[in-house]
Amino acid sequence: MSEQKTSQICIVTVTGKDRVGIIARLATTMAKANINIVDVNQKIMEDYFVMTMAADIGQATMDMGQIKKQLDHVGRQMALKITIQDENIFKAMHRV
Amino acid sequence: MRISVEEVFETVGMTLDHHFDIRTVTLGINLKDCMDRDLDWLIRQAQARIVEKGQLLNHCADALEQKYGIPITNRRISITPASLLLEPLPRKTITAVKLAKALDAAAKKADIDFLGGFGAMVQKGATAAEENLIDSIPEALSETERVCGFLNLASTLAGINMNAIVKIGHVITDLAHRSEKGIGCAKLVVFANVPEDSPFMAGAHHGIGEPDYSLNIGISGPGVVRNVVAQNPDCDLTQLSEVIKRTVFKITRAGELIGRELAGMMKVDFGIVDISLAPTTSTGDSVAEIIEAMGVGRMGCPGTTAALALLIDAVKKGGAMASGNVGGLSGTFIPVSEDAGMIRAVRSGTLSLDKLEVLTSVCSVGLDMFAVPGDTAPEIISSIIADELSIGVANNKTTGVRVVPVPGGKPGSIVHFGGLLGSAPVMKIQTKYTSAKFVERRGRMPSPILSLRN
């Protein structure tokens, strides 16, 4: 399925209370699945720590369902809400 | 330009907090080439196609749900109007019922919750096969679980078929008494100017002007719109319209993207995006609550019609900018039983059947999912339908009626249908005076003149 794909950018979003090691933990999880992190942004919005991460899963060793499971696992352990969605949905909704 | 954190969170918030979802993906399937004088052959062909495509639809929709993180809540199938398939077959009720049961079995096997198209276009007159289908509706829809029926009884070009409307009054009454709480009637919609490509049940069918397959998509976001209206409590109405437009633009674009990709994966034509705001019984996912957030004290009180007109206009403008394929009903659904705010309005007395009818003159779709006492005379049901379809015919737009006479139901009592269909307060109907003599005249009300607009 993913052999010919060279690049598929997904946006990972993280919300929750800020603490040490969030980015480190996510980066490790992604590196294990051969996911390349392209961009990271973070802010405090309405008392929440929010972070968005653009990640290229084109060469990943897992499919999207498995990646999602891994992220959910991290989310549960660190009490964070983590989602992953293909970048195109944001482009469609926010760019004319 | 990379998407900003704020933009990402706006989208994520829509799905996590405000019930934004792709309400339905509906695959239209042409079955005209399966028509035959042998019912069993027709059934085998139709079932094979429905099961194969239905399973594929579910499989592909699951994959896209995962990819984009937006729930695709319902996966449905609409077919060529069943009356056409019955044309070459014996004019016996049992034939139509057998077909309905076969469609039901195929939908179940494909894990499709509703299959639409058990219906006919009879706005001008009915063939013998169409009469047969209409006669079979009480049995066919009460003895199947997933099959939905539609009838087009009027159009702006043909006028209003009062013969069929009189008949359908009896059909609806019969269907109500054959099913628990009248629930079978939730699967039947009668229309004026029915669209051929609506993805929404119960009225969906795959029209005769459609290709072999057509993937239609219904987005939904009353919760999203309500949230954005609530965040702008003091802006003027022009500004409010702008705010709604922008939001609907965004959710329609999401629908368009997912619909196109799904059609591509299935190798079928992409049909339309239906931009209707479709409420659910979940808290906050209510059209009535949008109207109330706009400043109307309670859905149904004076001011409601104006607010609804503004809302639907903004929805259409935002949707039309977002997709070149807007179609289907693309109105604002105001089903009584499926919207917590509507139920509240009926119970508190601000929303009567009369006001509901007025509201349908500014938003398409019509009188939807409202309950009446089970002992309501068939002529009264026919009269309600005639009134509603006249609004559609005269205003050159779609209107429909989905009425549930609840056996034993008294005005003011609540009937719980459960699941997607919610619960409905039984509405009071004026029965002292009736129009039985008017509808019983039968015949066809001529099509209206389209110039000299009032």
Give the whole-angstrom CA distance, residue B61 versus residue B70: 10
pLDDT band at A2; cut points 50, 70, 90:
very low
Look at B254 and A92 and tell me if their CB atoms are within 8 Å: yes
Q: Is the alpha carbon torsion for A88, A91, A93, B3 positive or negative?
A: positive
Give the whole-angstrom CA distance, residue B33 versus residue B46: 9
User: Who contacts B451 (Cβ-Cβ below 8 Å, separation ≥6)?
Assistant: none
CATH number belonging to the domain at B1-454, selected among 3.40.50.150, 3.40.50.300, 3.20.70.20, 3.40.50.720:
3.20.70.20
pLDDT band at A1; cut points 50, 70, 90:
very low
Encode chain B (454 residues) as per-residue pLDDT tens digits.
Answer: 678 888 888 888 888 888 888 999 999 999 999 999 999 999 999 999 999 999 999 999 999 999 999 999 999 999 999 999 999 999 999 999 999 999 999 999 999 999 999 999 999 999 999 999 999 999 999 999 999 999 999 999 999 999 999 999 999 999 999 999 999 999 999 999 999 999 999 999 999 999 999 999 998 889 999 999 999 999 999 999 999 999 999 999 999 999 999 999 999 999 999 999 888 888 788 999 999 999 999 999 999 999 999 999 999 999 999 999 999 888 888 888 889 999 999 999 999 999 999 999 998 689 999 999 999 999 999 999 999 999 999 999 999 999 999 999 999 899 998 888 888 999 999 889 999 999 999 999 999 998 887 6
Q: Is A76 exposed, middle or buried (0-12, 13-18, 19+ CB in 10 A)?
A: exposed
Q: What are the residue boundaries of the structural domains of chain B, listed by start?
A: 1-454
Q: Does A72 touch chain B (CB under 8 A)?
A: no
Reported ipTM: the value is 0.85
| Preceding peptide of B202 cis, ω within 30° | yes
Element at A66 (helix H, strand E) = helix A64-78
Give the whole-angstrom CA distance, residue A15 versus residue B307: 36
Q: Does B98 touch chain A (CB under 8 A)?
A: no
Structure-token pair, residue B239: 């500004």
CB of B222 closer than 8 Å to CB of B363: no
Within 239-258 of B, beta carbons closer than 8 Å to A belong to 250-251, 253-254, 256-258
Q: Does B130 or A47 have the greater pLDDT score? A: B130
Which amino acid does the sequence have at B184?
G
CB of B271 closer than 8 Å to CB of B327: yes
pLDDT per residue as tens digits for the range A68-78: 999 999 999 99
Look at B69 and A50 and tell me if their CB atoms are within 8 Å: no
Distance of CA B349 to the CA centre of its chain: 25
Q: Is B341 helix (H, G, I), strand (E, B) or coil?
A: helix
pLDDT computed for residue A6 by the predictor: 82
Q: Does A8 touch chain B (CB under 8 A)?
A: no
Angle CA B345–B347–B349, to nearest 5: 70
Write down the residue that tokens 């660190």 correspond to.
A78
List domains and CATH numbers for chain A.
9-94 (3.30.70.260)
User: Chains A and B: how many Cβ contacts under 8 Å?
Assistant: 71
- Residues of A whose CB is below 8 A from B8: 11, 13, 52, 90
Strand-strand pairing, B21-29 and A48-56 = unpaired
Structure-token pair, residue A41: 């942004």
Closest CA to B42 of B152, B129, B151: B129
Structure-token pair, residue B56: 């594929």
Q: Is the alpha carbon torsion for B359, B365, B194, B128 positive or negative?
A: negative
CB of B229 closer than 8 Å to CB of B243: yes
Q: b/e map of B116-131 (b: 16 or more CB within 10 Å)? A: bbbbbbbbbebeebbb
| DSSP conformation class of B421 | G
Closest CA to B159 of B442, B435, B366: B442
Give the whole-angstrom CA distance, residue B393 versus residue B190: 13
- Phi, psi at residue B410, to the nearest 5°? -110, 150
Q: Does B208 touch chain A (CB under 8 A)?
A: no
Q: Does B59 touch chain A (CB under 8 A)?
A: no
pLDDT computed for residue B79 by the predictor: 97
User: Who contacts B118 (Cβ-Cβ below 8 Å, separation ≥6)?
Assistant: B82, B100, B103, B133, B137, B140, B141, B147, B148, B149, B150
Q: Does B66 touch chain A (CB under 8 A)?
A: yes
